[in-house]
Amino acid sequence: MTAFVHLHVRSEFSLKDSIVRVDPLVKASLAAGMPAVAVSDRMNLYALVKFYKSAQGKGIKPVFGADLVIREGDELCEVTVLVMNETGYSNLIRVISRAYIEGQELGEPQVQRRWLEEGGEGLIVLLGRRSDVGMALLGADAQQAVPRLARWLEHFPQCTYLEITRAGRDGDERHLHAAVSLADALQCPVVATNDVRFLSPEDFEAHEVRVCIAQSYVLADPKRPRDYTQEQYLKTPAQMAELFADIPEALANTVEIARRCTLNLTLGKNFLPDYPVPAGMTINEYFVQHSRERLEQRLAKILDPAAPDYAERRKMYADRLDFELGIINQMGFPGYFLIVMDFIRWAKQNGVPVGPGRGSGAGSLVAYALEITDLDPLPYDLLFERFLNPERVSMPDFDVDFCMDGRDRVIDYVANNYGREAVSQIITFGTMAAKAVVRDVARVQGKSYGLADKISKLIPFTPGISLEEARKEEPQLDELLSNPEFSDHEDALEIWEMALKLEGITRGVGKHAGGVLIAPGKLTDYTAVFCDEEGRWVSQYDKDDVEQVGLVKFDFLGLRTLTIIDWALKDINAKRARRGEP
């Protein structure tokens, strides 16, 4: 059997034009007998850690990359880059991050050509029909393709390939023959891809619906762009061998590229930011000393030295503190406690109301001593083991409530203190949930608004409920979909079947309500970033993935209740002051 590896696959995390889910992609590649598969989403690395974990667990070699939008002057083109090694991974993170930080045009990130040329070590470049070379080959002056390809070969020697595709699109065959001729002339290898956007031919209609949802078209609109064909599915090596029987080297080069691309991620190792400690002390020593000193200050207020049980109670606190300090140091988390202590102390000193603490963190005496929380755990028999347990190694996680109005000031303090390039918020992914996907599908299919509204309202409001669960829970919904006597039964069933295919697909990005990352150095040494509307950095890995790559999440939760209490106190105190009351 001819060996072949798909090197140009977009996943659902491209957000607009793919319905390929990561786990099914890996399973399908394995079932087709492929040794590896690549994911190259458009201008992002959202899926990278999820893809890595999925592939590693199933015995498929993951190849990482991205489709980059390249700008030079007034010209835009698109190239696919694949990561060969750790250097290439670092460079790709920096290039994509820079596109979001410096290169946005009308909200769309773009990579300046020189950025890629200056920082392209460790990357393989695939030049397809949407590249500057491909557009020249399909344009009026095909000779422009020669100097354009020569420039890529100069900056990416031995790492430039002309990508050829037979997906049934207008211009595919013309581009292929022109690219093969150009490759022969300039001694540039060619590589076959299928520009995959869905896994099987049956998924084409679902893919078109997804594209129409993103582009705000309806399927029947004769003016809507039709950029994709039914052939852009995950074909087997045998199908690709038949398709490119006249260019076997294009198939062999896919395996060669996959062999050249090897990236091993270090997952599960934590990288805490540095907390400054006095000269001559380790962070563990300082943490123990500081915690004991701060506990003494707490005990001076809550214990009566004249009480008959003073010595006994003091020993209880000292023993509990030593127990907790031992576990925290053993697990390597003193820096985490000190950093949380630092920004909470700053908030209290700068007029930002802070909550007293909640969740399992309230069971820590160390947290109480350091004024992270204001709840003494001993009188209430709160267990420290619920917060940190050596037998269940996980990062500590304090949920810290700040006044809604002051929360951003605290984040700004952290960014100024630890470095603007070391701090970001965390991405979240919005998916096509049950109610929304029904409405979206109905609109794209041209069904009546009334029917879409009817089906959507029959879906219970249970958070996270799936369409299948909704059908089981709601008899009226099941009857509408099961009984052909209803006048709108067929339309309802058509909406439902398509909604089932798209349910749960990633449709957009947002920010975690409270999560903030603090890296020990540049954040882009660990994750790519994008920028929100206000220009603040947001990680491209979600909260689970950033923890996998070792970054530590701190929860800065904005609580409106604290804001209202603060307003009330200020108002009351102002009135008392005017009346001369203390």
**Three-state secondary structure readout of 209-222:** HHHHHHHCCCCCCC
Is 269 within 8 Å of 515 (Cβ atoms)? no
Helix 310-331 × helix 283-302 angle, to 10°: 150
Which residues are CB-contacts of 421 (< 8 A; sequence separation ≥ 6)?
522, 523, 524
| Token code pair at residue 343 | 């920004």
**What's the confidence (pLDDT) of residue 272?**
87
Residue (of 127, 118, 111, 196) closest to 159 by Cα position: 127
Q: Over its length of 582 residues, how does the chain's per-residue pLDDT go in tens digits? A: 579 999 999 999 999 999 999 999 999 999 999 999 999 999 999 999 999 999 988 889 999 999 999 999 999 999 999 999 999 999 999 999 999 999 898 889 999 999 999 999 999 999 999 999 999 999 888 899 999 999 999 999 999 999 999 999 999 999 999 999 999 999 999 999 999 999 999 999 999 999 999 999 999 999 999 999 999 999 999 999 999 999 999 999 999 999 999 999 999 888 888 888 999 999 999 999 999 999 999 999 999 888 899 999 999 999 999 999 999 999 989 999 999 999 999 999 999 999 998 889 999 999 999 999 999 999 999 999 999 988 877 778 888 999 999 999 999 999 999 998 999 999 999 999 999 999 999 999 999 999 999 999 999 999 989 999 999 999 999 999 988 888 888 999 999 999 999 999 999 999 998 899 999 989 999 999 999 888 889 999 999 999 999 898 999 999 999 999 999 999 999 999 999 887
**What's the confidence (pLDDT) of residue 29?**
96
| Token code pair at residue 478 | 């099941």
**What's the confidence (pLDDT) of residue 391?**
82
Strands 111-112 and 61-72: parallel
**What's the confidence (pLDDT) of residue 140?**
80
Strands (E), 179-270: 190-193
Which residues are CB-contacts of 43 (< 8 A; sequence separation ≥ 6)?
66, 67, 68, 69, 96, 99, 109
Strands (E), 128-261: 160-165, 190-193
How far is residue 261's CA from residue 80's CA, in Å, rounded to a whole number? 14
CA 505 to chain centre: 14
**What's the confidence (pLDDT) of residue 498?**
96
How far is residue 357's CA from residue 355's CA, in Å, rounded to a whole number? 5
Query: According to DSSP H, which parts of 303-399 are helical?
Result: 310-331, 334-349, 365-369
**What's the confidence (pLDDT) of residue 513?**
83
Q: Based on C-alpha coordinates, what's the Rg of the chain?
A: 29
**What's the confidence (pLDDT) of residue 270?**
86
Distances (CA, A) of 578 to 17, 567, 581: 64, 17, 8
Q: Which amino acid is present at 344?
A: I
